[in-house]
Structure 1
Amino acid sequence: MNASEELADRYPVLAALSPEARTQLFERAQWISVPAGTVLFDDHQACEGFPFVLSGSIRVIKASAQGRELPLYRVAPGETCVISSACLLGHEDYNARGITETDTVLALLPKGVFDALLAEPAFRGFVFHLFSERIAELMQLIEEVAFHKLDQRLAALLLGKGRLLHTTHQHLADELGSVREIVSRLLKGFAAQGLVRLSREQVEILDPAGLRRIAAG
């Protein structure tokens, strides 16, 4: 399967485009392969195009000047980045950071082609459906950050990762948009209550029911 066929396979919406639009997309798309840990875009950078992810994943975060991070969402194959879409539509620079989590291959659609494809009902519907899904996810994130205490959010996060977690306190803090010291203190509190067992880069869930009670508030 060549790159164009793989792109069409990952994004079935492209089959609904006119032949002329598909040709323009496949001819003008820029095929990019980047290793894990690459910063694809950052705050105040101009948006260079509309990304289609063929393999790998991109973690989109909001970072503070003090180095704290709040994860916003991930972009997996078959998905695309709502912040990139918003920047292109609004002619604005990025206001978040995108980092590859694994080795990633993507097709970047130049702005001019993106603008032209918006005249295609199928592509326009795809973009606005993306907005709808991501905004719902971001509203849920805002609700969690604003209304749930950090111990509730940490308990819920642990419960969603299986019985044995191979992770660091720093990684958990990054996922929660907090700092390592606070998360470590909460984990030690959970351990003292017999809810978890802590070891190096590992958290074992001992009492899921207890964690569920904390997560429920």
Structure 2
Amino acid sequence: MTITDWTERFQGTSRLPRSVRDRLVSAARIVRFSKGSQVFGPDNVPDSLFFLYEGRIRVSQSSESGREIVLYRVEAGESCVLTTACMLAEEAYNAEGVAETDVTAIVLPKPAFDRLAAEEDTFRNFVFAAYSRRLIDLLRVVDDVAFGRIDVRLAERLLSLAGDKAEILATHQQLASELGTAREVVSRVLHDFQKRDLVAQSRGQISLIDKPALRALAQSD
């Protein structure tokens, strides 16, 4: 895939004056990652702003005991709030980003970012609006983990992962990582869902039999 003007892909950059967009295209570079590869990790100190052009990245954090929780996903057309925060603070990531699909991204070196953020209100507002939205999402993750009912959270996540499909390819451990809980807890709730004819399970696959009932449960809290 040849990218001639990546600034068209992002709402904030597409509104910039043509001269500024030309500067962005000149300063940025295009990087690609294959599905399953690490995009960034705890050993990296980012030196560029990261825009996701195509694909999806899962951002997660692991405890010393090995338990993982999914913090958020970066979708095509979005920037990565963790990259922005760590770049501005000049600190290493405290989480890992993994490509859930093949990924094409745009990286803008920090010197170019600093100049544009200082000179262009539209660009600065785009970056920090995305930053604010993702921080709110992270606060919701904390709230869900601390106070949310696990059956409600699992129903919501099953529907989110399935999208328009009726099946999900995921293990109980992977779902536990999505929710920041133990595999045994997910297994217990899924067994209850199966008894209620909401889902059917086979090795590595979960079929959503009654989406309306799952949706009602997800919205019940």
- Tell me: CA distance 1:192–1:43, structure 2 relative to 1, closer, same or farther (3 Å): same
Deviations 1:89-145 (A, max 9, x none): 222221211111111111111111111111111110001111221122112212211
* Residue among 182, 185, 188 paired with 1:182: 185
Residues matched between the structures, number: 216
- Counterpart in the other structure of 1:192: 195
Contact persistence 2:8–2:14 (CA under 8 A): no
- Tell me: CA distance 1:125–1:196, structure 2 relative to 1, closer, same or farther (3 Å): same
Aligned-pair distance for 1:87?
1.3
- Counterpart in the other structure of 1:167: 169
Aligned-pair distance for 1:82?
0.6
Distance in structure 1 (CA, Å) of the matches to 2:142 and 2:109: 31
Deviations 1:47-68 (A, max 9, x none): 1311111111111111222222
Distance in structure 2 (CA, Å) of the matches to 1:214 and 1:13: 33
- Counterpart in the other structure of 1:142: 142
The one-letter amino acid of 1:112's match is: P
TM-score, with structure 2 as normaliser: 0.85
Moved more, 178-187 or 112-121: 178-187
The alignment status of 1:50 with 2:54, answered yes or no, reads no
The one-letter amino acid of 1:165's match is: E
> Per the alignment, in what secondary structure is the counterpart of residue 181 of structure 1?
helix
Aligned-pair distance for 1:214?
7.8
- Tell me: CA distance 1:214–1:73, structure 2 relative to 1, closer, same or farther (3 Å): closer
Contact persistence 1:52–1:107 (CA under 8 A): yes
Distance in structure 2 (CA, Å) of the matches to 1:214 and 1:27: 46
- Counterpart in the other structure of 1:104: 103
The one-letter amino acid of 2:98's match is: I
The one-letter amino acid of 1:189's match is: D
Contact persistence 1:70–1:174 (CA under 8 A): yes
> Per the alignment, in what secondary structure is the counterpart of residue 166 of structure 1?
strand
5+ residue gaps, structure 2, are none
The one-letter amino acid of 1:66's match is: S
The one-letter amino acid of 2:59's match is: V
Distance in structure 2 (CA, Å) of the matches to 1:16 and 1:138: 27
Aligned-pair distance for 1:20?
4.8
Contact persistence 1:61–1:98 (CA under 8 A): yes
| Percent identity between the two aligned chains | 38
- Counterpart in the other structure of 2:207: 204
- Counterpart in the other structure of 2:88: 89
Q: Let me know the Cα RMSD of the aligned residues.
A: 2.4
> Per the alignment, in what secondary structure is the counterpart of residue 142 of structure 2?
helix
- Tell me: CA distance 1:14–1:213, structure 2 relative to 1, closer, same or farther (3 Å): closer
Contact persistence 1:151–1:215 (CA under 8 A): no
The alignment status of 1:155 with 2:158, answered yes or no, reads no
The one-letter amino acid of 1:36's match is: K
Moved more, 173-182 or 96-105: 173-182
Contact persistence 1:31–1:105 (CA under 8 A): yes
- Counterpart in the other structure of 2:60: 61
> Per the alignment, in what secondary structure is the counterpart of residue 137 of structure 1?
helix
Contact persistence 1:163–1:204 (CA under 8 A): no
Deviations 1:144-195 (A, max 9, x none): 1111132331133234436732222232222112233331222123223443
Distance in structure 1 (CA, Å) of the matches to 2:56 and 2:64: 25
